Amino acid sequence: MKSLLDCPSVWVVDDDEDDQLIIQSAFGDGDLSVKVLLLNDGTELLPKLDECAELPRLILLDVNMPRKNGFETLKELRSTPKFVDLPVIMLTTSTDKNDRERSLSLGATHFLTKPLTYQQLKALTQELSQQWQLT
């Protein structure tokens, strides 16, 4: 079993490897670096959560992914009692109002559009770190 210190605080579920690494880097660039676990889609997330001794403090979930997209993953998460209160932020390139409404109706904690620049992303990750006490 991992100790609390070894358990990543943020899990990023995104099929785009570049986005994964940029988000991870932005969390690592903060004053207090945040441990991040990278997963490729919802089919990886749910089994990993079941194995985890300590749940993450925050999940960043992309909407558009192959195999199991963000909506399907979120619906499954929210239908599992032990994951009902797990904070899940949909972080996506989508600016579609319908995607936002669907995410929130399925139980997303927030819906955010991915920032366009690394500086904006870094500011966002610092804000999330403070808001969700990730360090």
pLDDT at 9: 87
pLDDT at 7: 62
pLDDT at 52: 85
Lookup result for tokens 């997963």: 39
What own/partner pairs with CB < 8 Å and gap ≥ 24 does 14-20 have?
14/38, 14/39, 14/40, 14/60, 14/61, 14/62, 14/65, 14/91, 15/40, 15/41, 15/62, 15/64, 15/65, 15/66, 16/62, 19/62, 19/114
What's this model's pTM, rounded to 2 decimal places?
A: 0.92
Q: How many residues does the chain have?
A: 135
Task: Write down all domains in the chain, each with its CATH number in brackets.
Answer: 4-131 (3.40.50.2300)
Give backbone dihedrals phi and psi of 74, rounded to 5 degrees, phi first.
Answer: -65, -45
pLDDT at 33: 76
pLDDT at 135: 74
In terms of Cβ atoms closer than 10 Å to its own Cβ (0-12, 13-18, 19+), residue 18 is: exposed
Give backbone dihedrals phi and psi of 77, rounded to 5 degrees, phi first.
Answer: -55, -50
Low-confidence ranges of the chain (pLDDT < 50): 1-5
Q: With beta carbons less than 8 A apart as the criterion, state whether 35 and 8 touch.
A: yes
